[in-house]
Structures are given as structure tokens and as C-alpha cells.
Chain A
Amino acid sequence: MTGLQDRLTPEQVEEFGREMDEIRQRLVADLGKEDVDYIQNLIKTQRALEVTGRGLLFAGFFPPAWMAGVAALSVAKILDNMEIGHNVMHGQYDWTRIPALSSQKFEWDNVAPAQNWRHSHNYIHHTYTNILDKDRDIGYGILRIDPAQKWHPYYLGNPAYASVLAFIFQWGVMLHDLEFDRIAKGERTWADTKEVGANMLRKAARQVGKDYVLFPLLTGPLAPLTLLGNATANMSRNLWAFAIIFCGHFPADVESFTEEETENETRGQWYLRQILGSANITGGKLFHIMSGNLSHQIEHHLFPDIPARRYPQIAEEIRASCAKYGLPYHAGPLHKQLFSVAKKLVKLALPWNGEPSDPKPTTLERDKDLAAA
């Protein structure tokens, strides 16, 4: 794997970093009412869908009503977790000072408590993106998703684990914060998990309480149907979130890094790593919203705290910058990226280290003359 430092000259890296900083400044200066209106309208839509979905399940004896209810509730949960929750919890709307949009106060419709998730996601994953042994999102501590992860017979179950994880993704995200893998390795003790674990129990009890006890009971004789409906909605959200997130970092051409090569990173190098370690998913406007604009994973990783609705606005510019510096800009349609991830999961179940077909970054020429570009 080509070292990060070998890509561009240090001057080029810093120049690139400055370009990114400029885009950022411009966006920050432009934030205003439009951004707030956008997210408030989306919240309105989400709440309306949620109420409609729950309402329709009261008529769940009528199959079309049940199906429409589940569909509405699934979309509501997806919007809540992705375009609203994930982005609000990133602090994208903290500048509005609106308590309901505050990263510190927002809770999402998901069993993983916001507080735990903010730490593992905003801090660990976004700071140490794709650094082996540091970014715990690489394989979530249970999968082998990078050839550089050492093989173990346990990984023979790779595809099976991934499939199970996809269905119960919210629970996976929740348990992820207990850092079982690190406990197993002795880097963390059970005592360390006390507070995190207590948060989980509290949050999970509330979530389970409403979806699997209270709402079913409210529908009286329809309770089993309502429970099934709510479970289906949670599952749809799980599958969708899993697909989007795995396509953001794990398609075949996305790179990972070692701790050594990222030591004492400059801001420019950090930007560079975000570009190399992320992949976009192409699609229409609705698709972008449903994915929480994580389909613009590259832009999101460059500017995680800028409102996501801005990512499509700058995508072309980022792509052009990448082209100018000979950097890859990974992007592909969902089915292609998913297939690529699936292939990787199957391949890496075996003791294969990825050397032969490891994509040599073709676009990088060390002394690329920028003046000529």
C-alpha cells in the first residue's frame, strides 16, 4: 500500500489543505436561515411520517394499512437516524443554538445512546478514520474488512457475521461502544464499561418499551401485528443504515492506514486521508436525503460539522480539486459499492492478504507537476 507521504510533495499536501480550508470558510460564512429551515422541515416530515405510520398500524388488520404503516414508520426511523440524528449529533446545527438541534442534547430513535455514539463516532471514527487499530469502525471489531487485519479462523464466518449484523445493526452500533474486542484483548476492563453500559440499558429499555410493549398494547387485539410492524420498521432501518455505512468506507478501492504513517499528521494530510478513506454513493436527491447525505461520505469526512445539505453543493468542487492533485475520488452506485463490499467480506474470510489485486493508486504520480495541470 502506498504510504500517505508518497502521494504528493509536502507543499502540495498543504496547498490542497488550504483549498479545503477555503471551501470550509466559505460554507461557514454562508450558514443561515435556509439551513435551519431545511432541517426543521425535514423534522416535520419525519414526525408526520412517524405519527402516520403508528396511526395506520391501529388499522393493521387491513393488510394495505399495515404495509403503508410499516413503510411510513421505516422511512421515519431512517430519516430520524440518518439525515436528522447523525447530522445533528455531529454538531452540524450547533451554531443555531437551538436546544432541539444541539449535538449535546439530541437523542435519536435508536437503541444506541447518543452520548456513547458521539464519542465512538464523532471522535474516534472521524479523527482516526481508517487507521487500523485506532478506527474501531474498521470491521466493528467483529469483521475482517481490511486485508491488513490479521486472519484468524474466526473470520471464516465473516459473511455470516456481516449478514447477521445487517439485520440487527442498531444493536450492533449500541454494543460497539462496550468495546468487547478491546476487553478481550485486555486493553479495557469490564469496570470501564459501567457508565456506558448503564446508558445502554436505560436507552434500550425505553426504545423496546415503546416499540414492543406500549404501542402494541395500545392497539389491543392487534398487538402481535403492531409488534411485527414495529420490528419490521426497525429492521428496514437496520438494513438500510448498514448498507449505506458499509459502502462509505469499505468498498474495494478505499484505503486504510497505519498508525505510523499518520503520526504527526498536518491538517493537509488529515484532509488527504479523509479523501482516500471514503467513498461516495451516486444517486438522486431523495436517495441522498435518505442516506443522510452519507452518500457524500467524502464531503462529510472533510467537513463533518457542516450541515449535510451543503455537501452536494460542494461535491463538484472537491472532485475537481482531487483531479487537480491526482487524487482518487471514489464514487459508485449503491449496487456496485454493495457488491464490492460483499466480495471483500467473502474474500477476507480466507487467509488472503490482499496483495495481488490490491489496487495500486493509479492516479498518483509523485512529482506530478501541478503547474501543468
Chain B
Amino acid sequence: MTALVPRAARRRAGQLASFAEALLTPHGVDRYLELLDPMLVRKEIRGVVTEVRRQAADTVTLTIRPSRAWRGFTAGQYVRVSVHIDGVRRTRCYSPACSQYRTDGLLELTIKADPHGLVSSYLYANAERGMVLELSQPDGAFTMPANRPHGVLLISGGSGITPVISMLRTLVDEGHGGPITFLHYANTADDVLYRDELAELAATHPGLRVAFGYTHEHTGGDLHGFFGTEHLHAVAPWYRDAETYLCGPTPLMDAVRTVFDTAGLSEQLHTEEFAPPPLQLDTGNATGQVRFTHSGAETANSGRPLLEQAEEAGLRPEHGCRMGICFSCTKVKATGCVRDARSGELSTEENEEIQLCISVPVGDVEINC
């Protein structure tokens, strides 16, 4: 009988919610609740910053309490974080660094301020307790299989540490039985993020080896210089029998990939880099003019994604991933038709938001850019 109570209560809450929606149509309950407190929203996800920590010179670590619609994440995934900068809502993807089992339900994001990065510099400079961010549900397929591999090798560089430290913390929480090596690269000892946490984890979890590689120092680390096969032999000689998860700057990614490819182990290497979606481009049959209304630039449609066409026309539109996931390149299409080069879907509405990096003009278009 007692088990029925919560269900009935939940049903009643659901009915109440849809009644409230009917009363507050067309704007919906969230548009009223957020005026009282932005964290009260029911459908959208917000996160309030509960703690700000600066571990290294240019990074900031935020602890965030997500609002009620948050459903949790899987280690390795990312969330889209939006902030409003000078009136414009800007969105970037960040991978939580905490364990997916974190019991207090909080989320931890570590953000490295990129001097050219609008959002990261903004968060670095302005994040404070009580700040409210807009969040998305988690996304991304850079995750470990539910049936955990026995040996796990986690390789990261710089701020790429976040998804893999999340995996590590998750494995430790699970009491993983197999060997784990956490190999992290930083320029110097001072740049290492999560040093204390990693030392603590290594001390409590028997099968874990944490190794730091300093690319710009010759002493003080477990390894020095850039990644190479000898580093693998030194810290994870069993790597051939393990699954490897990798996230970091492009040179590191390339170096690791080359080694694994040569060893015939590419199947066992998993990267955070999303495979660029196969874009269907038809440059032969492109027609029409592309007009960028704010700058006045105009170019003949080349059939390439609008981001490239804008850059060729001398513009520098904001962008991130260039593959349709981060929404940094979102602009308003004033008129005309564009095709989503991933799905082939056409967008013909006026004043519609499009992502420049994956949209190809079909005939004349005008972009507010």
C-alpha cells in the first residue's frame, strides 16, 4: 500500500502541472516561475553555481546544482552550457569531471580560459556562487561500455582531462577490479589539474596508476616530452589488452592515434573527438548568391557550408566544433533556403536560426552575420 502512495502523488503532481500549463498558456509555467527564481523551472534545465575553485592559473572549476529536469549523465558525456554575454546567449559544450555516481547530485565542470574563447573567458572572469547557467541534457557517445573492460587506459592532455577523470572517478566508485592507468600530459608540473584528487584516488584504489607527463620539463614528472610508444611501455605495458580512452589537444590525439594505428589497435582506442558527420556537399550544382547582411559581404554560393563561405568572404564568424554540435556558429537566416548537410533537411522559414558550419545554401540566401 505504501508503495502506491508516491505513485498516486506523482500522478496528482502531473495533473496539477498540466492544469497549470493550461492556465498559463501560451507562455507556459516556466516563463512565470523563472521570474520568481530561475532555478524553479520545470522543463528547462538550469544550474546554480555552488562553489568556484581556481586550480591553475587559467582554469576555473565550478560545482553546479542542476534544476529538477536534470536526469544525470554517463561518464565521458558533455553538456551544453549557455550564458548571456552582452545580451547574446552563447553556448559551449563541457564535459563534467565528476563521477556519474556523485551522491549529492552536483555537477563539476572545469573550464580552461581560452584567450579567444568568449564563453570560457567569461566564465573564468565572472563565475561566482549563485550564478545561474542554462544547461542541456547530456549528450555524446564518448563513454565506456556498460560491460566494463578489464584493463582501462585513460590518456588526456591539458583541459581534456575532464571526461576521462570522470571515467576514472566512476570506475573507482564502482570498485573496478582490473588495472587502470591514468596518463595525463601537462606543460609543466604547475599546470596539472586535479593533482591532489588524483593522488588521493591512487592511494585508495589498488589497481590504479597515475602518471604525469610534462611536455616542457625534463625532471619532476613520471614521463617527459611528448607522447611516444616508450611512454606506453613505461606506464601501461598491458595496453594491448586494454581499452583506451583519449582526450586532449590535437597533437596529442594525432600522436596516440598514429601509435595505435601502427600497432593495429585502432579498434581499442576511443576518442572524445566526434567523428565529423559525413556532409553531403554538391559543389557542382550550387546556385545563387549568399549575402551576409550585417557586414554587407556577398559571395556566389560555392555549395560549401556557410561557415566556410563566410570565412572565404573575409568574415570571422564565431564558431567551435565546425561539425554541428556546439551551436557556437548559430546565426539567423533572414531569407532563403539552406540544407542541413548532415540530414539533407531543408529549412525555408524566414528568420530561422541555423548553424553555419553544417548549412549549405540552396539558391539565394541572406544571413544576418
Contacts and interface: CB of A to CB of B under 8 A. Distances in A.
Interface string A212-225: 00110010000000
Contact of A104 (B25, B88, B89, B353): B353
Nearest to B89: A97
B87 A31 contact: yes
Contacts of B296: 25
A206 interface: yes
A100 B30 CA distance: 10
Contacts of A25: 294, 296
Contacts of B352: 104
B284 interface: no
A118 B349 CA distance: 10
A103 to B, nearest CB: 5
A332 B350 CA distance: 33
A57 to B, nearest CB: 13
B35 A44 contact: yes
A37 B88 CA distance: 11
A210 interface: yes
Interface in B342-360: 349-353
Interface in A307-354: none
Contact of A214 (B23, B27, B87, B332): B23
Contacts of B25: 206-207, 209-210
A36 B351 CA distance: 18
A98 interface: yes
B68 interface: no
Contact of A123 (B27, B35, B350): B350
B84 A36 contact: yes
A102 B330 CA distance: 13
Contact of B349 (A96, A104, A210): A104
A152 interface: no
A108 B26 contact: yes
A103 B27 CA distance: 13
B185 to A, nearest CB: 35
Nearest to B349: A104
B315 interface: no
A14 to B, nearest CB: 15
A102 B32 contact: no
Interface residues of B, number: 28
B200 to A, nearest CB: 41
Interface string A20-50: 0000010011011111110000001001100
A96 B351 contact: no
> Chain A binding site: helix, strand, loop or mixed by DSSP?
helix
B91 to A, nearest CB: 8
Nearest to B44: A99
Interface in A51-108: 51, 91, 94-98, 100, 102-104, 107-108
B45 to A, nearest CB: 12
Contacts of B24: 210
Contacts of B87: 31-37, 96
Nearest to A89: B351
Contacts of A108: 26
A25 B295 CA distance: 8
A47 B31 contact: yes
Nearest to B330: A97
Given A32-B86, A47-B31, A96-B89, A206 B26 contact: yes
B22 interface: yes
Interface string B11-43: 000000001001111110001100100000000
Nearest to A46: B27
A48 to B, nearest CB: 8
Nearest to A91: B351
A8 to B, nearest CB: 23
A91 B296 CA distance: 19
Contacts of A34: 87
A141 to B, nearest CB: 23
B152 to A, nearest CB: 39
B368 interface: yes
Nearest to A54: B23
A122 B91 CA distance: 28
A51 B27 CA distance: 13
Contacts of A109: 26-27
Contacts of B35: 44, 47-48
A51 B332 CA distance: 33
Nearest to A31: B87
A201 to B, nearest CB: 14
Contacts of B353: 94, 97, 102, 104
B89 A98 contact: yes
B163 to A, nearest CB: 26
B114 to A, nearest CB: 20
B32 A98 contact: no
Contacts of A37: 87
A25 B31 CA distance: 32
A275 B26 CA distance: 34
Nearest to B295: A25
Contact of A91 (B22, B32, B88, B332): B332
Contacts of A95: 88, 332, 368
A214 B22 contact: yes
A223 B26 CA distance: 22
A350 to B, nearest CB: 40
B365 to A, nearest CB: 15
Contacts of A33: 86-87
A94 B22 contact: no
Nearest to B24: A210
A28 B368 CA distance: 10
A123 B32 CA distance: 31
A357 B88 CA distance: 51
Contacts of B89: 96-98
Interface string B76-93: 000000001011111100
A165 to B, nearest CB: 23
Interface of A: 25, 28-29, 31-37, 44, 47-48, 51, 91, 94-98, 100, 102-104, 107-109, 118, 122-123, 203, 206-207, 209-210, 214-215, 218, 305
19 contacts: A25-B294, A25-B296, A32-B87, A33-B86, A34-B87, A35-B87, A47-B31, A94-B332, A95-B332, A96-B89, A102-B353, A104-B349, A104-B352, A118-B350, A122-B351, A206-B22, A206-B26, A214-B22, A218-B23
What 4 A-B pairs come out closest when comparing CB atoms?
Answer: A107-B26, A91-B351, A36-B87, A33-B87
